[in-house]
A and B are shown apart, each in its own frame.
Chain A
């Protein structure tokens, strides 16, 4: 799926477009290019950059009773941390050292012929996204443009939730369920839409195996970056395929005009 309109929004332009009450500057965006602090190593003046484990934008206890602090401590504190630490070890001293996380993911996805660092890079991204998809006292309904699109493409909010839950529950083995805004509503594999219009785009629920994610599959498009991911591991005593809707409908509408389209540099993933 060629990213005719793949977007990695420039965080600077977006956050200034939104009022703080709409979450403009206080929330970080899932695909802001992950800048890393440069650590100057003593010795022959070599600079390396390491990815950091970012904490969720809320306290580990804040999602209770839906997600326990114990789950958060294991899932973020151990699993997510391990992905980040192992990724840093894998890319140190290679040409990927210094690349943004998104670029590492695309490079190691390698058109489906996965390179060793892919799993850690993609899972680091996925989990950053996952924590951002939830918030304390979230839930409720989306509004505005997002709700309109959900009604258009799923019939109703209930219809979307049903489909999302079914996707999450029927994933074989490990993986993710996503809500994405696809550049092409037709399922046409490698074809490129030569004259993309807004009506061609469509909200869809997508399942992915293990670490694979929408950036790899080229599934993002300009306006609607707020994908919802539900992680299927680990299975601690509480149910894991629960859906948490984080609502940024308003922000999506206001931000739409401000997004920058990343130029497609030829066939992606």
Chain B
């Protein structure tokens, strides 16, 4: 029976072009939908390049590595290793998830970056926070106050159909704060996201980033969860 199963998997693998044994799906660094310099002066090309090619790439590489180790440990029934790998998976997997959202959250002004949200998301923001300015002020306050490394999020609770502002530490994705939370906008407040340009003045980075915020993407996600 084991042999038959193996043969089936092999056929499946060839048909779908999976990259490794047992159908383990690995990940690759997504391309940015704009040039590294396209978000200037809000975020420098130097930061974008290092952030994407070094930091995000490292999360992807290490995520794949820990998935392969997890795969091996699972098939051997090695429970201690399976458990021990969880923090590396959370950190690197979270880093990959979060940054993949982040690149889509940003857009050059020529492609709508900075244009306020319209449609249902715009209404929801006014309802939940009073105004766009009030939302931005609240998110910036949370982002500035975050100690150490983490993210500040605008999310939608897809069960309650409510907008929420949340922060997460390190590379914890928004879903760790609630299983029904979907990220609309995430702002990376790790120092690697702004230090080369803004140095220790995180509040200035938080003020500038809204000029390249891609509300079109956020609206698409919102309309999908709250049709």
- List residues of A whose CB falls within 8 A of some B CB: 74, 78-79, 82, 119, 172-175, 209-211, 233-237
Contact = CB atoms under 8 A, between A and B. Distances in A.
Contact of B147 (A172, A211, A234, A236): A211
A196 B18 CA distance: 58
Contact of A210 (B87, B147, B199, B200): B147
Interface in B154-205: 169-171, 190-192, 195-196, 199-200
Interface in B120-172: 147-150, 169-171
25 contacts: A74-B199, A74-B200, A78-B199, A82-B200, A119-B147, A172-B87, A172-B91, A172-B170, A172-B171, A173-B150, A173-B169, A173-B170, A173-B171, A174-B147, A174-B148, A209-B148, A210-B147, A210-B148, A211-B147, A234-B191, A234-B195, A234-B200, A235-B192, A235-B195, A237-B196
Given A172-B171, A173-B150, A173-B169, A233 B199 contact: no
A236 B192 CA distance: 9
Given A172-B170, A210-B148, A211-B147, A235 B191 contact: yes
Contacts, number: 37
A102 to B, nearest CB: 20
Interface centre among A82, A119, A234, A237 (most CB of B within 10 A): A234
B172 to A, nearest CB: 10
A210 B200 CA distance: 16
Interface centre among B171, B192, B200 (most CB of A within 10 A): B200
Contacts of B87: 172
B91 to A, nearest CB: 5
B200 A175 contact: no
Contacts of B170: 172-173
B84 to A, nearest CB: 13
Interface of B: 87, 91, 147-150, 169-171, 190-192, 195-196, 199-200
Given A78-B199, A78-B200, A173 B148 contact: yes
Contacts of B148: 173-175, 209-211
A234 B197 CA distance: 13
Contacts of A173: 148-150, 169-171, 190
Contacts of A233: 191
B188 to A, nearest CB: 12
A78 B170 CA distance: 23
Contacts of B149: 173-174
A235 B149 CA distance: 12
Contacts of B171: 172-173
Nearest to B95: A172
List 8 tightest A-B contacts by C-beta distance, closest first.
A174-B148, A173-B170, A173-B149, A210-B148, A174-B149, A172-B91, A78-B200, A119-B147
A68 B103 CA distance: 32
Nearest to B192: A235
A78 B148 CA distance: 16
A211 B149 CA distance: 12
Contacts of B169: 173
Interface centre among B87, B147, B190 (most CB of A within 10 A): B147
B192 to A, nearest CB: 6
A79 B200 contact: yes
Contact of A236 (B91, B150, B195): B195
Contacts of B190: 173
A110 to B, nearest CB: 15
B51 to A, nearest CB: 11
